[in-house]
Structure 1
Amino acid sequence: MLNGLDIEGNSPLHRMPVRGKLIVLFTAAIGLFFLSDLRLLVPALGLAAALFLSTGIGIAEAFRRTRFVLFTVLLVAAANYVFVSPHEAVVVFCRLSILVLLAATITAATGISAFMDEIARLAAPLERLGLVRAADVSLAVGLVIRFVPEILARYHDIADAHRARGLPLRPLTALVPLIILTLKDADTIAMAIDARGFRRH
């Protein structure tokens, strides 16, 4: 399996506590949706991109990681352009792109185990109330983060196999085998988790 999405480094972002990173992301998400001045949003977008690159990730890898989400953001912005106004389209694009880049920055600067430990601590009060099991919640978050690059790698393998056979890559011909392979991996991981007694049920 591939490595996770985190990048080794010793930058201030890497040394920042996980809880602090999550608080910054949450605060930015709230603040951005009260902000509609492009004189502030455009520089903020540039700053978010600079922060992402400061983790040590290359431009090509940064684009590879965010291109699908940014394409979705572009579609949302285009819908706003058609149904609302060009100004609102640019505002929406900047807001969502900033959030995508900030989330990618935090993911790149934080190891999966650190994320899981922090999620477990945050979920501990809910566990004391009997609502969730903190270890299960942190494990679920860790697996989601861990499998993002794995699923992308599976997709690229399927695309390469199509090209090697001279076949056109269509959404359906790529999606079906991708889902099947992902479900097989999920079953294998679930059995390994149960065998090690990580889950109560």
Structure 2
Amino acid sequence: MNLVTRSFYARDTVKVAQDLLGKILVRNIDGNMISGIITETEAYKYKDDAASHSFRGMTERNKAMFGEVGRAYVYFTYGMHYCVNAVARSSDYPAGAVLIRSLFPQDGIDFMLKQRKSMDVSNLTNGPAKLTQALKITKKEYGEDLTKRYNLFVMDGMKIKRSEIKAGPRIGIKKALTNLWNFKISKNILEDN
């Protein structure tokens, strides 16, 4: 399988969020590949998106959103969880990122179970904090180049049809609720392929 190239991320953030569905997020830990198929994403834009971290401008925390596309933006939230995003935006915008909300586990499931201290595969990576814990993604991966085979990267996966994508409001936000920028696919699609 091929790496997803930087040009993939240099497009409208909402389109990238949809097109990341079916791609594979890979974590390399000491040569062990832990991976999952991306099944849920959320787009976060710039000044036109009050729910985005970049809405009020650049800070130390969100500066990756303003940087090179195709890099990881990892942040700490609620004083206990990490979330991972892919920096993505067209040249019309100075900032943007796609939150990776859920994965369908593929490789390294035993590692993920240990990380999550769980025996329930169905509950392993079905949330943004769960997947970062399962793949051991922390602030150390902030700025990681997702277009290179190193510690964290994205590979081509399945081609998902637009008709297989469900769009809805983003989860856990109180602003910009009319933006239906949460995208997900059913795990049935993955199990059928």
Larger relative contact order (C-alpha < 8 A, sep ≥ 6)? 2
Structure label with greater radius of gyration: 1
Q: TM-score range by the shorter chain?
A: under 0.3
Q: TM-score, length-normalised on structure 1?
A: 0.26
Greater strand content? 2
Greater helix content? 1
